[in-house]
Structures are given as C-alpha cells and as structure tokens.
Amino acid sequence: MILEEKVCGGPANGTQSVEDFPSHISINGMKLIEQVLKQVEALSVDVDVSLEVERLDLSRSPKEIETEQSICTGSAIILATGREPVKLDLDTDCDCIHYCSVCDGAAKLFIMS
C-alpha cells in the first residue's frame, strides 16, 4: 500500500526532463510517474492519495499508520517524507530559478541585477 499526502511523484511531476532514471535516457517527469503508477497498480498495490498520516506507531508488531480514514498495519513501513527545495536568499523577481543539483550542478550560475 502507498499512502500519499499530496500527489504521487511529488516534484518529479513538474519536471520537464528526467535524465537520471534507469531505463530512460530522458523522460518527462509526469510521464515517468504515470508509468511507475501503472507498474505499481499491475502489482496490485493500493495507492491512496490526499491522505495525511495522523499517527505512526513503530513500537509494536504489526506497525500501525493512522489516517483520517483508516488504520493500516504492516510488518514493515517505509516512511518517505519528501523534500522541499532550499530557496536561495536572493533579491530577484526571476521566475527561472532551478532547484535540481543533478541537472543544474554542472551549469554556470548567472545572477542578473
């Protein structure tokens, strides 16, 4: 089972081109997430979106996750909390700031004032 607070795939959905995923030289982020979800569903994994985890109990077996709708149990839980980009403290109106160290790491940084 996959429980997702927002939308499956997170920031990858808004990525024009993913170039560091095995089996794809380059793929649109939203298309990649669609393909991953198709594979997950083909494996009969339940995917529930728009659910916030309200309580997590890892102290006993089975482990428990409680959402507003239900309590889910399992022998193992993978907790992936996601990430938020660290925004630079820049005084700019620029809309073109990228937050990808893998794809932008080799690029030169230009700050226009």
CATH of the domain at 10: 3.50.50.60
Regarding pTM above 0.75, the answer is no
Exposed e or buried b per residue across 33-45, where buried means at least 16 C-beta atoms within 10 angstroms of its C-beta: beeeeeeeeeeee
Q: Is residue 103 part of a domain?
A: no
What is the structure's pLDDT at 74?
92
Domain membership flag for residue 53: yes
On whether residue 46 sits in a domain, the answer given is: yes
Domain-located, residue 109: no
Residue range 42-80, pLDDT digits in tens:
999 999 888 889 999 999 999 999 998 899 999 999 888
Residue 7's domain comprises 2-84
Percent of the chain having pLDDT more than 90?
36
Number of domains in the chain: 1
pLDDT, average across residues 82-105: 71
* 91 domain residue, yes or no: no
Question: Quick one: pLDDT at residue 35?
Answer: 95
